Amino acid sequence: MTGRIVLDGLADREPNYWITDMALNGTFVRIADVLNSDLGMTGRIVLDGLADREPNYWITDMALNGTFVRVAEVINIDLSKMIFRKSILPPRWPKGKIGHQYAPPDTPVCGFRNEFCESEEAVLAVLAIGAASGLATYLFRRSKYETQLLVQSWRILWEDIETLKGNPASMSTMTAGKSSGNVGSVTTMSSTSRSVISQNVDIIKSKIASSNTNDQSKSSLSKSMPSVGTGGGQIFSDIGLYRGTVVSIKHVHKQHLTLSRNVLLEFNEIKDVVHENLNVFVGACVDPPNISLLWHYCPKGSLTDLLMNDDVKLDNTFKFSFMMDIAKGMEYLHKSHVHSHGNLKSSNCVVDSRWTLKVTDYGLPTFLAGQDSQDNESDIYKKKLWTAPEILRENFPNPRGSQKGDVYSYAIICYEIVTRSEPYVFDTITPRGL
Q: What is the mean pLDDT of the chain?
A: 75
What's the rounded Cα separation, in Å, for the pair 418 and 416? 6
Query: What residues form DSSP beta bridges with 239?
Result: 164, 248
> What residues does each domain of the chain span?
6-83, 152-419
> How far are the Cα atoms of 98, 104, 108, 199, 396 from residue 90, in angstroms, in the given order?
6, 14, 22, 98, 72
What's the rounded Cα separation, in Å, for the pair 106 and 261? 63
**Residue count (the chain):** 434
Q: Are 263 and 148 in contact, with CB atoms under 8 Å apart?
A: no
The pLDDT assigned to 282 comes to 92
The pLDDT assigned to 35 comes to 52
Q: Count Cβ neighbours within 10 Å for each residue of 23-62 and write b for 16 or more, e otherwise.
A: eeeeeeeeeeeebbbeeeeeeebbbeeeeeeeeeebeebe
pLDDT in tens for each of the 434 residues of the chain?
A: 555 554 454 555 556 666 676 777 878 766 555 554 455 666 667 777 777 777 888 888 888 888 888 887 877 777 677 777 766 778 888 787 888 788 888 888 888 887 777 667 777 888 889 999 999 988 888 888 787 777 788 889 988 888 775 433 333 333 333 333 333 333 334 444 444 445 555 544 454 444 444 444 433 333 333 333 333 344 456 888 898 888 999 988 888 888 888 888 889 889 889 999 999 999 999 888 889 999 999 988 899 989 988 898 889 999 999 999 999 999 999 999 899 998 999 999 999 989 999 999 999 988 888 887 766 777 778 888 899 989 988 888 888 889 999 999 999 999 999 999 888 876 667 777 66
What's the rounded Cα separation, in Å, for the pair 311 and 308? 9
Q: What is the pLDDT of residues 74-94, one digit of tens each?
A: 777 776 777 777 667 788 887
Beta strand residue intervals within 88-232, DSSP E? 162-164, 173-175, 186-188
One-letter amino acid for residue 70 of the chain: R
Element counts in the chain: helices (H) and strands (E): 11, 18
The pLDDT assigned to 218 comes to 35
Please spell the DSSP secondary structure of 190-239, one letter per residue.
PHHHHHHSHHHHHHHHHHHHHHHT-HHHHHHHHHH--SSS-GGG---SEE
Comparing C-alpha atoms, which of 177, 142, 184, 183 is closest to residue 161?
177
Provide CATH code, domain 152-419: 1.10.510
**Residue 321, phi then psi, degrees to nearest 5:** -65, -40
Task: Look up residue 52 and give its DSSP letter.
Answer: P
What's the rounded Cα separation, in Å, for the pair 363 and 368? 9
Return the biggest CA–CA distance within the chain: 157
Contacts 24+ apart (CB under 8 A), 397-404: 398/342, 398/365, 399/342, 399/365, 399/366, 399/368, 399/369, 400/339, 400/340, 400/342, 400/365, 401/340, 401/341, 401/342, 401/343, 401/344, 402/340, 402/342, 403/334, 403/339, 403/340
The pLDDT assigned to 10 comes to 53
Q: Count Cβ neighbours within 10 Å for each residue of 382-401 and write b for 16 or more, e otherwise.
A: beebbbbeebeeeeebeebb
